[in-house]
């Protein structure tokens, strides 16, 4: 039988699934009230339930393996990366001969060869390459990502797909559950997110390790740290000079040496010290430690939650699992609460407090949006609409011509830009597929009233 043409009937008849039948075809003391024991449950997993796995790295490989062995017959996997030699110590679906090939395609091929009853569709692309119509086809989405930006983006996409009834209640048929897993060294977490009902990624953004984000305006105009110089070469100078006519590769010694030399030159211009080859490599590759055993534990927790949601055989986790095996084994589960001031799921403009609009510049606002634990934006673009209905782009770094035209606004105060107390700013960023709305709140007004 061809590995690309799985036979669903063979999957249903196989003795491989006897353990699943004991769960799905019998009642038990822990079953949910709406659970109906039936052979149809296994058939649903094998032939109808469609699950998307985002990421085919250390965690993604474990997830694909677990889900395939748990009876899911229609999996999709997205990953934009290719296989490197350093991946082989923990990403067990790959072999040395796969180096340089797509992770998604190699992972899909391996799973189908090992388990022909499971069909895995690879997507060698970014999650941002797909629109809402693509994501709407899935029953559940499970993430094995190493990027907080990507997590926030898919979180925003699922929230944007929610539909509301006339009384402003969420249409439950529009909810696509997201199971998110993450690992760093001997620590990990797994969580269940029901968009619109439970805490989302943005609600608990402060639970993630502090992220190092450098505003593009600082990198380009007023660098203060060696990392600023490296990011400048990485983001601006590499694309401008295109030294090797290929994208920047953090594993290529020639590329790293070129970035090191240019970053050192820029650092000398601004009297900045501390540029080292190791720092250049760390900034470019965003190196995160990975341990195979941690990946296995977190993937197992995530796959179990996918199974519970897909079959209704047991209540899903509520809703955040913390795991640590740095010194013994420690796990803790608690319910993260939905935030009323969440930027993504609160459905209301959020207040942006400003001490004094006459001394606070637009650059100060952008730094706040990038560096504060609440926002943690990457490279925000800001627009506003004035009372006369005129729309104005205040700053946008991602489009070169607009960046050059709006750069002068960075040094102007909010008062000089004509921004009033209560005025709304529309903010776009790589962390979200949709724009967010922030409302300026000047603290000086409150002081004067007192």
Q: Please identify which of the residues 118, 200, 203, 217 carries the catalytic annotation.
A: 217
* DSSP helix/strand/coil, 34: coil
- Is 217 one of the annotated active-site residues of the chain? yes
Continuous segment of H or E residues that includes residue 285: helix 277-285
Q: Nearest 10 degrees: CA dihedral of 340, 341, 344, 350?
A: 140
Contact 70, 19 (CB under 8 A): no
Continuous segment of H or E residues that includes residue 51: strand 50-54
* DSSP helix/strand/coil, 322: strand
Contact 140, 179 (CB under 8 A): yes
Q: Name residues whose C-beta falls within 8 Å of residue 275's C-beta, 6 or more positions apart in sequence.
A: 226, 229, 230, 260, 263, 264, 267
Bridge-based pairing state of the strands 320-324 and 187-193: antiparallel
Which residue is listed with tokens 């895995």? 120
C-alpha 288/C-alpha 148 separation (Å) is 12
C-alpha 429/C-alpha 413 separation (Å) is 22
Reading the block at residue 6, the tokens are 């799985």
Contact 155, 181 (CB under 8 A): no
Which residue is listed with tokens 């190092």? 212
**143-156: buried (b, 16+ CB within 10 Å) or exposed (e) per residue?**
bbbbbbbbbbbbbb
C-alpha 156/C-alpha 291 separation (Å) is 29
Contact 67, 5 (CB under 8 A): no
231 φ, ψ (degrees, to nearest 5):
-65, -35
Question: Greatest CA span in the chain, whole angstroms?
Answer: 80
C-alpha 425/C-alpha 258 separation (Å) is 39
C-alpha 256/C-alpha 249 separation (Å) is 8
3-class secondary structure per residue, 364-432: HHHHHHHHCCCCCCCCCEEEEECCCCCEEEEECCCCHHHHHHHHHHHHCECCCCCCCCCCEEEEECCCC
Task: State the catalytic residues.
Answer: 217
């Amino acid at each position: 039988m061809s590995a690309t043409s799985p036979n669903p009937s063979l999957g249903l008849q196989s003795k491989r699934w006897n353990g699943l039948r004991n769960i799905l075809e019998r009642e038990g003391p822990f079953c949910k009230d709406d659970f109906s024991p039936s052979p149809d449950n296994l058939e649903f997993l094998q032939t109808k339930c469609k699950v998307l796995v985002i990421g085919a790295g250390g965690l993604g490989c474990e997830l694909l393996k677990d889900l395939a062995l748990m009876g899911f017959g229609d999996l999709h996997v997205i990953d934009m990366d290719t296989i490197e030699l350093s991946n082989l110590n923990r990403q067990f679906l790959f072999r040395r001969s796969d180096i340089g090939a797509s992770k998604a395609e190699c992972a899909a091929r391996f799973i189908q060869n090992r388990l022909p009853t499971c069909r895995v569709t690879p997507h060698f692309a970014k999650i941002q390459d797909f629109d809402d119509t693509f994501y709407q086809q899935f029953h559940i989405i499970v993430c094995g990502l190493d990027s907080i930006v990507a997590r926030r983006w898919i979180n925003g996409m699922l929230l944007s797909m929610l539909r509301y009834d006339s009384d402003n209640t969420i249409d439950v048929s529009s909810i696509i559950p997201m199971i998110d897993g993450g690992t760093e060294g001997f620590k990990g977490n797994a969580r269940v997110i029901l968009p619109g009902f439970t805490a989302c990624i943005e609600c608990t953004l402060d639970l993630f390790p502090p992220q190092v984000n450098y505003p593009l305006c600082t990198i380009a105009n007023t660098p203060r740290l060696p990392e600023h110089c490296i990011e400048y070469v990485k983001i601006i100078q590499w694309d401008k000079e295109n030294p090797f006519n290929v994208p920047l590769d953090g594993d290529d010694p020639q590329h790293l040496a070129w970035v090191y030399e240019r970053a050192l030159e820029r650092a000398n211009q601004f009297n900045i010290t501390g540029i080292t080859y190791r720092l250049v490599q760390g900034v470019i590759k965003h190196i995160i430690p990975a341990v195979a055993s941690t990946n296995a534990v977190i993937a197992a927790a995530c796959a179990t939650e996918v199974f519970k949601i897909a079959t209704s055989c047991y209540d899903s986790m509520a809703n955040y699992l913390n795991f640590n095996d740095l010194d013994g084994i420690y796990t803790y589960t608690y319910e993260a609460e939905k935030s009323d001031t969440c930027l993504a799921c609160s459905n209301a403009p959020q207040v942006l407090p400003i001490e004094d609009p006459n001394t606070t510049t637009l650059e100060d606002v952008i730094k706040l949006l990038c560096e504060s634990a609440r926002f943690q934006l990457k490279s925000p673009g800001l627009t506003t609409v004035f009372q006369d209905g005129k729309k104005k782009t205040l700053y946008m770094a991602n489009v070169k011509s607009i960046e050059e035209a709006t750069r002068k606004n960075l040094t102007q105060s909010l008062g000089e830009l004509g921004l009033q107390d209560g005025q709304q700013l529309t903010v776009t960023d790589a962390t979200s597929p949709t724009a967010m709305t922030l409302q300026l709140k000047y603290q000086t007004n409150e002081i004067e009233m007192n």
